[in-house]
Structure 1
Amino acid sequence: MRNWKRWLIFISTAILSLGVIYVIFNFVFLDFFVDLWWFRSLNFEAYYLSRLFYKYLVFIIVCLVFFLLFFINFWVASRYIGLSSKGYNPKDTEREKKYQKLLKMFQSGSLKIYTPLSLIMSIPIAIPFYEKWETALLYFFGSSSGIKDPAFGRDISYYFFSYPIYSFLQSKLLVIFLFLFFFLALLYFIENRLLNKDKQTLPKGPKIHLTFILFIIGLIQTWGFCLDRIALLYTDHHQPLFFGPGFIEMRLDLPMIFMAIIMFWAFFLSGIIYIYKRKGLIACLVCAAVLTVVISFRNPSFFSEAVQKYWVKPSEAEKERPFISNSIQAALDAYGINEVETRNYSIKPSSAFKVNYDLQSNLHNIPVWDRELLDDVYNQLQSIRSYYKFTNVDVDRYTVNGVYQQVYLGARELNLDDIPESAKNWNNLHLQYTHGHGVVITPASHGGDEPLTWFIRDIPERSDYGFTLTQPGIYYGPEDYEYVIVPNDQGEIDHNKEDVEVMVNYDGTGGIHLSSMLKKILFSVYFKDKNIFFTSETNSKSRILFRRNITKAINRITPFFILDDDPYIVVEDKGLYWIQDAYTISENYPNAQKYDKAKFGTNIKSDEFNYIRNSVKIVVNAYNGDISYYVADPKDPFICAYKRIYPGLLKDMDEMPSNLKKHVRYPKLLFTIQMNVYTKYHQTNPDVFYREEDTWKFAKANNRSMEPYYLTLNMINPQSHEFLTVLPMSPVGRDNLRALTIAGCDKDNYGKILVYNFPKGQQIYGPSQINALVHQDTEIAQELTLWDQAGSEVIFGRTIILPVENNILYIQPVYLRSASRLKIPELKRIIVSQGEVVVMEASLETALAKLEHQLKERSERIKNRLSGPQSNQETDKQ
């Protein structure tokens, strides 16, 4: 019977112990080991451990600092408290005896009492610092940017790295030292009561100790006043006119801060004198009153409002001029648009328009297809299998048969939404349907009523234009993929060949080896999936691939980068690569307007910011999942700091393989943000800015604001065509064209921003005005009406504005989409106009030729009309 009970106790204890071990391991160590293995598979193990090390190092250092702060002060206090405790007086009350016993313990038990007490007090204080550990690292590793703010002449890096941590420290330290002062004062107060009872006085030591703590509090508060000066640079009181400090802040508030510092110390010192000498009470009260008045004047009050209303407003443009100028310069610097080059673009008479050689040689680069519509075409014609899908269409440029060519391309990614529900079992989802396959590429330009040209198509890939692809497998991409175990004994479904399913086996280096029993157990627990452990389809080469969404993977590795919402695929002979743009942002650029997300909108995942740089280009191998970071903007102080914090993480741009570097492009998201700011801040003259007489907006087409688009033009260097980001501008309140903004994407001109200004006094049609002309053309309207009646939907594509030889061409594709189930868009016609004549033809070549011909005829008709009456008058005279 006893043995039975012993075994029951033993088994119960073992089960309970295993349960406790499981819970502890699952919640404490499992994530750590999985993360460690995953980072190791990407060659980022040292980086991962360094992030953990930094995090806990900051916590330990802060704990140690505050532990020593508390312990030293308590130890000093222990030298003076409990001096009256020579023994218990029979006349003492029970409460007094307890006081004496407690004070004796505090006096004699420094290590026993103060060590745990100081530690307990330091830990909760260190937690907020622990949460700000990366801010602390940026402070220690940050360096000068070389740009100074115009108000105080400090380097911009001070506002990025020092000011945030100083503001945080000042507020925390003030509370900590106030708490310390009151705790010590309480101990000394109790001691003083006991000493007074025995007709003794408190030694000078406690007074000096408390005075010293008060002096530190005074220094911390003075530091707070100094930081208030910096806070003036972030005021928004002058919105929407300009951002940052104005006349009130710099001519009224700033002197008041200096006055507050003087009066604070006058009050502080007079208060100390009164405490020690019992003299100067009136001076102390006067200083306190003056300090109160000064602080109240600094806040929005009757005084500042009166100055603004009666002194500033009557001549606001003059008094705010230097501060508006500071705000303009700060915004241009903060958003990287301080070196925009402006050029004037004169417009020739329409009669001078000719289809010259430059235009003819570049027709193959004019993107007449819309990405959104091409997405439907790719999916209908080239998905091939139900488990593949094109989720995005990218724009890029490739050399096709020796010709620099703008193209569209899409990756055929894995998507299991359309397979039958009965097929969505564990084996299919995690062993067989494992990857996407290849890409398709089509030219940017195309003719209507022509079959689509495919540079790469089908599975396996076929190309008649020199493209080869040795590794078409897409195991990593922007979509949310399930984890997979590859290679496995079942094989992975790849494609069909002569009605036979072709199976493949993964041969890459991605993921983590799943060869040991221990890893099978751990990953079964991690994914909460027992099949990982019990499956018999794995082998010695099997690897588990997870975190295959490249955006989420990058965010897990480097959460301090903000990622662009449009990673794009690059095709190379050796395989497929994703290029992901990443940004560093801040809300602490002094004097700079914060980006108005409510007005302009953006996909930047941050509440607010007023500084942005596209500092990093990230390359991800679509087959292996390898991730490489390349510094695209070495002048960015944030990226310089991260290079010092994490050595080996960021590579120089020169280390990027040349076959990938030629596909780097200027991000549309960044260009959109920059141009939204530039619409107002291109007015660098403060008086013009104040009147807002030349504020712009994004040009509108089809009743919506245009977005940046990519074109291949010779707008930077007339001798060569380059890949550019283009965005047209209109004046606020008008629809005509005011300017054309472009950003270079190729080679030495990468990131170079140019603005072509059109003549202010000349009518330059905007896209919406051209759309109106198109709909008013009777021939075009009649033909489009016939198509609509035939059961098809007419779709107008994006308007492309094309500057050509001092003329502006407007190109708009017209598509037909069937009303049947298979709604495949078909490019039917291309509309071309230069603002006065509108033509519609099946191809760009014929449309341009017709436009040139009609413009000549129009010019001759006008000439004849003008010369007709004059010739008749001459005949009558004869």
Structure 2
Amino acid sequence: SGRSLRPHSAEQATLERYRMVIQPRLGTWITIISVVIGFFAGLSAQSRWKDWMLFRNSQPFGVQDPEHHVDVGFYIFEYPLWRYVLGVGFTTIVLSVIGALAVHYIFGGVRLQGVGDRMTAAARAHLTTLVAFFVLLKAVAYILDQRALLLEQHVSPGLYGAGYTDVNALLPAKEILAYISIVVAIAIVVFSNAVMRNLVWPGVSLALLAISAVAIGGIYPLAVQNFTVQPSLADKEAPYIKRSIEATRAAFGLSATEVRPYTAAVTVPPATLASDTSAQNVRLIDPQLVSEAYTQQQQVRGFYDFGPKLDVDRYTLTNDKPQDYVVGVREINDNALTTQQQNWLNRHTVFT
């Protein structure tokens, strides 16, 4: 099974001559390539000394995260190094696949022309095993990605840590993809070497993994964010904002703060409230939340919109008393213009 394919073409005959030149110095070439790769790997690793020192001297914080129930010290001391080691593993596998392909091609284990088998059993077993290890590393990456969700920073609604979409869509998606990766890795080795002894089913398995990654890890979370979270952002993200606030308090040593509710015992008559000028200025509309309502009711054209946060101003109208009003300016959204509308004339004379 370890023999080379016999030369059946001019390509193989040419490679045979190259083998006669390379084989006597094969050990020297392997040593040179290994030294070069090791040199660049060392240059990359020397800047990660801090990650290693943190990992080596890691200590528990005594506080567990609310989602995975892992000590918070893991994210500070251990996670950065594990992420780096995973990246090194991916790089090693990719370089190994490239090197194995080159060696098998030169020594006849893989050929592009001629009749019969294009790959020996030894070359197929070697290459598919490397690919299977790559897919297994991908499963480990999905597990680490689950931990990384707690380190996310969301611009809207100003949330640090996992949000609604992360917990209810991305977290289970990453877990499912990790299991799929393990199954695909096993299928690659079994189908290519023990059952069918070809690369058809391993290729199908990799394609299914890629499709699953796009559908489960990309499209599904995007749909949850757009159709479930965005319409009621404050309501959906409220529990996770509370988590973020509690974690911030714990980090600054404020978790033991005692909150005492104050219940007013005075009942104000409605007539008093009606005559109180300050009560009339109580805001009923939040300028940070009303922008979408303005867009729906006052957009007029599809290329108009309002800013994400509107302004508050005071005007004196019919009652001769100043009153707060939420003010929004209808602006042109250039990205909403069609291709036909985006010309010089429209930009400078119409949509301006």
Settle same-fold status: TM greater than 0.5.
yes
Query: Bigger radius of gyration, 1 or 2?
Result: 1
Q: Once the 2 structures are TM-superposed, how far is the Cα of residue 286 of structure 1 from its aligned partner?
A: 4.6
Matched, 1:293 2:293: no
* CA distance in structure 2 between the aligned counterparts of 1:155 and 1:272, rounded to whole angstroms: 36
Q: Hey, what's the Cα distance between the residues in 2 that align with 1:230 and 1:307?
A: 23
Count the aligned residue pairs.
Answer: 256
CA 1:144–1:84: 2 relative to 1, 3 Å: same
Q: How far apart in 2 are the matches of 1:212 and 1:104?
A: 25
The 1:93/1:172 distance shift into structure 2, 3 A limit, reads closer
Per the normalisation by structure 2, the TM-score is 0.60
Name the CA distance, whole Å, in 2 between partners of 1:298 and 1:179.
33
Percent identical across equivalent pairs?
16
1:305 match: 226
- Unaligned runs of 5+ residues in structure 2 are 262-285, 287-352
SS where residue 245 of structure 1 aligns?
coil
Cα offsets for 1:139-163 (capped at 9, x unmatched): 0121222121111111111101111
Change (3 A) 1:134 1:198: same
Q: Deviations 1:392-432 (Å, cap 9, x if unpaired)?
A: xxxxxxxxxxxxxxxxxxxxxxxxxxxxxxxxxxxxxxxxx
Structure-2 change in CA distance of 1:133 and 1:272 (3 Å)? same
The TM-score, its normalising length taken from structure 1, stands at 0.26
User: Could you tell me how far apart the structure 1 residues matched to 2:173 and 2:115 are?
Assistant: 50
Distance 1:291 1:275 in 2: 23
Amino acid paired to 1:100: R
Q: Equivalent residues in 2 for 1:294-333 (5 A)?
A: 294-297=216-219, 301-310=222-231, 312-313=232-233, 316-317=234-235, 319-333=236-250
Distance 1:192 1:283, change over 3 A: closer
Deviation at 1:178, TM superposition (A): 1.0
Q: For 2:159, what is the secondary structure of its paired residue? A: coil
Q: Structure 1 residues 298, 174: CA separation in 2 closer, same or farther (over 3 Å shift)? A: farther
Please identify which structure carries the higher helix content: 2
Matched residue, 1:708: none
Structure 1 residue 246, shift from structure 2 partner: 2.0
Q: 1:283 to 1:220 in 2, by over 3 A?
A: closer
Partner Cα separation in structure 1 for residue 117 and residue 216 of structure 2: 43
**Within 5 A, what are the aligned runs for 1:121-520?**
121-190=37-106, 191-193=108-110, 203-237=120-154, 239-272=156-189, 275-276=192-193, 277=196, 278=198, 280=201, 284=205, 285-297=207-219, 301-310=222-231, 312-313=232-233, 316-317=234-235, 319-340=236-257
> What secondary structure is seen at the aligned counterpart in 2 of 1:145?
coil
Match of 2:346 in 1: none
**Residue 342 and residue 194 in structure 1: after superposition, are their counterparts in 2 closer, same or farther (change >3 A)?**
closer
Question: 2:14 — aligned with what?
Answer: 95
Contact 1:148 1:155 in 2 (8 A): yes
**Shift in Å, 1:208:** 2.7
SS in 1 for 2:70: coil
Tell me if structure 1 keeps the 8 A contact 2:58–2:73: yes
Following superposition, the deviation at residue 340 of structure 1 comes to 4.2
Cα deviation, 1:51-73, whole Å, max 9, x if unaligned, reads xxxxxxxxxxxxxxxxxxxxxxx
Deviation at 1:121, TM superposition (A): 1.0
2:109 partner SS: helix
Cα distance, 1:215–1:286 mapped onto 2, change above 3 Å: closer
Post-superposition CA distance 1:574-594 (Å, at most 9, x none):
xxxxxxxxxxxxxxxxxxxxx
Equivalent residues of 1:264, 1:291 under 8 A apart: no
Report 1:660-699 matches (<5 A): none
Per the alignment, do residues 123 and 281 of structure 1 end up closer, same or farther by CA in structure 2, a change over 3 Å counting? closer
Change over 3 Å in CA distance of 1:193–1:308 after alignment to 2? closer
Change (3 A) 1:247 1:231: same
Report the Cα offset of residue 252 of structure 1: 1.2
Query: In structure 1, how many angstroms separate the alpha carbons of the residues matched to 2:201 and 2:119?
Result: 23
Letter in structure 1 aligned against 2:95? F
**Paired residues of 1:238 and 1:244 also in contact (CA < 8 A):** no
- Identify if the C-alpha distance between structure 1 residues 266 and 198 changes in structure 2 by more than 3 Å, giving closer, same or farther: closer
CA root-mean-square deviation:
3.9
